[in-house]
């Protein structure tokens, strides 16, 4: 029985916003790559009939927490399979800051779906879990599949891709920025031309959200200006974290020591197979 489950971070190596959709979402083009770093979830099933989260999140009401929502969604979906008293106690060793752009909430939800599907012996396939997860968020399927991918549409149209696994310095300026907040800025770029993957891979990588974040959050701007002197550096996702890419671990650690006191950072390697998928593969649990 697996008790500890990884919930990895992701980077958006580039992020382009093509247009706003009629449903309120945006069509985007992005590459997701995972990091060998993230949260750890301890999950113990029981017969209480309740989903208990022992870790406190002061900024997120329990009913809005994606972990609880994911567990309840799976329980509802499998109501004809599960006994009424199926329950679980969930504890998180939380490393990924909320509002950082590293995908922590979506990754947590994906890990809960994958783990409880196994622990409760529901036996949904990875494809079925990914489809189910779209009810919670457009970027959750990428964490379900656990493969570095080129994503389009809302983020749900996924093509696996093998990308160079570089070393990264991830810098967090201790600022929380929500996706909703970024997309509410009226002057956010929303008309980047839709291009083929081949074209995008041969252009400099950028993030359409970076300018708006830098202009509204001075610390993010300061960090990018500093780190650009040492390595290619840009914003990830729609949060506040900045990543700098290196060909070796030593140079990444040398640059870590240069961060301003208000920021925190860590070194991680970009990986094309997520730690969660690796657990499934090692335990022969991957069902497509």
CA 56 to chain centre: 20
DSSP 12-66: EEEEEEEEE-TTS-EEEEEEEEEEEEEEEEEEEEESSS-EEE-S--TTS-GGG-H
Give catalytic residue positions: 10, 139
Residues in the annotated binding site: 97-107
Q: How many Cα atoms within 13 Å fall on the side-chain side of residue 95?
A: 20
120-124 long-range contacts (CB < 8 A, ≥24 apart) are 120/45, 120/74, 120/78, 120/82, 120/86, 122/74, 122/78, 122/81, 122/82, 123/287, 124/77, 124/78
Helices vs strands, H then E, count in the chain: 10, 10
Phi and psi based region of residue 237 (left: phi greater than 0; alpha: psi -120 to 50; beta: remaining): left
Residues in the annotated binding site for ATP: 97-107
Overall residue count recorded for the chain in this entry: 288
Q: Which of 169, 18, 8 is nearest to 95 (CA)?
A: 8
Distance from C-alpha of 64 to C-alpha of 283, rounded to nearest angstrom: 32
């Amino acid at each position: 029985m697996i008790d500890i489950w990884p919930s990895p971070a992701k980077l958006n190596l580039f992020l382009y916003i093509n247009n706003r959709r009629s449903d309120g979402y945006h069509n985007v083009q992005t590459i997701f790559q995972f990091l060998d770093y993230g949260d750890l979830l301890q999950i113990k099933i029981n017969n209480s009939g309740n989903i208990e989260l022992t870790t406190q999140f002061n900024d997120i009401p329990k009913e809005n927490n994606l972990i609880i929502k994911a567990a309840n969604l799976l329980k509802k979906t499998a109501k004809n399979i599960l006994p009424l008293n199926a329950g679980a106690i969930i504890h998180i060793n939380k490393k990924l800051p909320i509002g950082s752009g590293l995908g922590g909430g979506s990754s947590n939800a994906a890990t809960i779906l994958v783990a409880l599907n196994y622990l409760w012996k529901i036996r949904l396939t990875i494809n079925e879990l990914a489809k189910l997860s779209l009810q919670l968020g457009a970027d959750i399927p990428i964490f379900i599949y656990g493969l570095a991918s080129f994503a389009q549409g809302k983020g749900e149209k996924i093509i696996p891709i093998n990308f160079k696994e570089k070393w990264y310095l991830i810098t967090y300026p201790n600022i929380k920025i929500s996706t909703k907040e970024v997309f509410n800025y009226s002057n956010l770029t929303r008309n980047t031309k839709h291009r083929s993957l081949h074209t995008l891979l041969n252009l400099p990588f950028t993030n359409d959200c970076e300018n708006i974040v830098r202009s509204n959050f001075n610390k993010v701007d300061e960090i990018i200006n500093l780190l650009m002197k040492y390595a290619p550096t840009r914003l990830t996702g729609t949060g506040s974290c900045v990543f700098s890419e290196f060909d070796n671990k030593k140079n990444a650690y040398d640059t870590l020591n240069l961060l301003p006191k208000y920021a925190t950072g860590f070194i991680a390697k970009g990986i094309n197979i997520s730690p969660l998928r690796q657990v499934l593969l090692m335990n022969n649990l991957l069902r497509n």
